Amino acid sequence: MEIFVIYWLLVGVLFTIGIVQLIMKSVKNQPVKPALKLIIASVILVVVGAGACAVILSNLSIGH
């Protein structure tokens, strides 16, 4: 169960780093493509993680 917490914390950290980089690079007029890649990766991880949680939770209720 603790692996799920670690996963969601890492996704949150990845998203936060992406947002901070996006703001800092846009203020300094630098390319923001790496920051956007981090944000997109974190959104994909949220979708994958939410899907995995849904599958796990749906399998828990099937018990005989």
pLDDT of 63 strictly over 80: no
Q: What's the residue count for the chain?
A: 64
Q: How many Cβ atoms from other residues are within 10 Å of residue 24's Cβ?
A: 12
Share the mean pLDDT of the chain: 88
Mean pLDDT throughout 6-21? 94
Angle at 40 between CA 34 and CA 35, to 5 degrees: 20
Domain boundaries, the chain: 1-62
- pLDDT greater than 90 at residue 15: yes
pLDDT at 61 over 70: no
Give the global pTM.
Answer: 0.79
